[in-house]
Every structure is written in structure tokens, then in C-alpha cells.
């Protein structure tokens, strides 16, 4: 069967122009598949039946392969058998009765509460940029704002005495989001002790400013967050959205209801918010597997 794998991979290069990473993924999936077929005594494409594919997929699940990895393997098998049938290497396609996997939404990456604490504590000292960074991170985690909403905040959107801010979300929709005491304290300190020195002799209604006294950009915030994460000893791949995901997940884990979280995140459809229930269930499953004797 190895000769057919070589033909298929060559076809992907010449006819489809796929990248090396994609080819490597196909190769890993199909090498494992052909090894399984060899154990089953199958040496020709015409001997492969649908049941063999189903048993192989079941074996991947038994081996602990993640759902997304199993879905990717099925895509590899379907394309491999489609190629064999189209090139007349077999009389039937055993994969044509197996439905393609649905595109599941990616589970968002999050930080643990300890990691969040470390990140929020990373901007140390009383330098203007440290005070600004601390305030931005506290607001982002404390409210779950989108990064575009955070950097777009204007002074007039703050209602610190009442403990909330007014976010301007997608489609210019306005929503009220509560601010916790740590975020309020960090913002007040930034406005009093740091923002005037960043503003210099300029005028701006933007809350968060860069060194030049202008509103911070998405790229500027992303670079700052990466730097502060390294300072906190966090080396996983994080993005500005990571704190938004962490905000939602930690709320649900601590008993918040889905509708409230939906409102704070500014989701028009609760189905978008429901992905975080998958995250919390996945975390519970991992804890169970790790710590329970029968996990």
C-alpha cells in the first residue's frame, strides 16, 4: 500500500500545490492508517471496506486522539480514497458513505487564575507606561472587552464613581459593563499619575495613549501584552482575546449564568457565548482524568 501513499502525496504536491505542513499532516495520518491496514492483512485498495475505516477511527479514539485530530484524520482518509477511486486504483470508494466532520468552533485558549494574577502584576513600578499597562490589563480582564473596544475607549465612556464603563461594540452597539475595584483603582492611578505625562502638550479624548500621546493601536497593545506575559513567565501563545476568553470562562466556572455573561461580552447570539460552556466542561474532564482513580 505504500506505493499508493507515494502517488497520493505526489498528487497533492503537483496538482494541488499544498504546503509542506499540510503534506506532513496527511503523511502522518495515512502512515498510521496504512500500518493499521497492514495489521489487518490488507495489501490492496480493493480489499478495503467501510468497516475498516470505522474501526480505524474507533481505534484513534481509544488511543486518546483529540476530536479535532480524529476529524483531520478522517479528512485525510476521505481524500486518499477519493484519489484512489478517481485514478482507477480501486473499483469503489469505501469512504463515500462516511460523512465529513462538521467544522467545530475552536475552543478558545485561556489563562488560569494564577496566570492572570501573574500577568496583571507584571507591569511593576510607577513609570507612566507601567501604570498604563497595568490599567489596560486590569480593564481587559475585569470587563471582557474586545481589544478594539479597549483601545477605542474615550474618557467620556468611563463612569468610575458608579463602577461601570460604556463599551461601544460591533455595529456601534452600546452596552454597560461593570468595573471591579482593582480595575477602577488602576485606571484612576493611570489617569492621575501617567496619562498627563504621555499626553504632554497634546489634546486627546482617547483613554489609553502611546509614548507620542496618541491613542494606542491594536498592534501596540498586542506587543505590550506579549512582553508583559514573558515578564510574568507565561510562554504559551496568548493574544489580546485570551483575557476576554479567560474573563468569560472564570465567570462561568464561578457560577455566573450564561445570559449575564452574554450581555457583558456583547454577543448578539447566545450560541456564541455557549462555546465557553464547552471550555469549562473540557477543563472539568481533564481534572477528572488527572485526579480520579477511575479517570
The set of catalytic residues is 146, 170, 241, 244, 267, 276
Contact 73, 57 (CB under 8 A): yes
Residues 6+ apart with CB under 8 A from 186: 131, 134, 135, 138, 139
User: Would you give the distance in Å from CA 90 to the centre of its chain?
Assistant: 41
Amino acid at each position: 500500500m505504500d506505493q499508493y501513499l507515494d502517488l497520493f502525496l505526489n498528487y497533492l504536491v503537483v496538482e494541488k500545490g499544498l504546503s509542506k505542513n499540510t503534506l506532513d499532516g496527511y503523511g502522518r495520518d495515512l502512515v498510521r492508517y496504512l500500518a493499521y491496514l497492514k495489521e489487518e492483512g490488507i495489501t490492496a485498495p480493493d480489499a478495503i471496506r467501510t468497516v475498516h475505516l470505522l474501526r480505524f477511527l474507533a481505534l484513534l479514539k481509544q488511543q486518546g486522539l483529540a476530536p479535532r485530530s480524529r476529524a483531520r484524520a478522517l479528512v485525510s482518509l476521505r481524500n486518499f480514497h477519493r484519489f484512489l477511486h478517481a485514478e482507477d486504483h480501486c473499483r469503489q470508494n469505501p469512504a463515500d458513505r462516511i460523512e465529513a466532520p462538521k467544522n467545530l468552533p475552536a475552543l478558545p485558549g485561556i489563562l488560569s487564575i494564577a496566570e492572570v494574577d501573574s500577568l496583571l502584576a507584571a507591569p511593576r513600578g510607577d513609570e507612566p507606561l507601567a501604570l498604563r499597562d497595568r490599567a489596560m490589563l486590569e480593564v481587559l480582564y475585569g470587563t471582557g472587552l474586545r481589544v478594539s473596544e479597549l483601545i477605542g475607549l474615550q474618557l467620556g465612556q468611563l463612569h468610575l464613581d458608579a463602577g461601570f464603563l460604556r463599551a461601544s461594540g460591533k455595529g456601534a452597539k452600546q452596552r454597560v459593563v461593570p468595573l471591579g475595584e482593582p480595575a477602577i483603582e488602576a485606571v484612576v492611578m493611570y489617569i492621575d499619575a501617567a496619562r498627563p505625562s504621555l499626553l504632554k502638550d497634546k489634546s486627546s479624548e482617547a483613554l489609553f495613549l502611546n509614548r507620542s500621546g496618541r491613542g494606542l493601536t491594536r498592534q501596540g497593545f498586542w506587543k505590550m501584552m506579549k512582553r508583559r506575559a514573558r515578564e510574568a513567565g507565561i510562554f504559551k501563545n496568548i493574544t489580546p482575546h485570551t483575557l476576554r476568553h479567560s474573563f468569560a470562562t472564570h465567570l462561568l466556572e464561578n457560577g455566573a449564568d450564561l445570559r449575564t455573561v452574554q450581555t457583558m461580552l456583547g454577543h448578539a447570539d447566545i450560541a456564541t457565548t455557549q462555546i465557553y460552556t464547552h471550555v469549562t466542561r473540557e477543563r472539568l474532564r481533564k481534572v477528572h482524568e488527572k485526579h480520579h482513580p477511575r479517570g
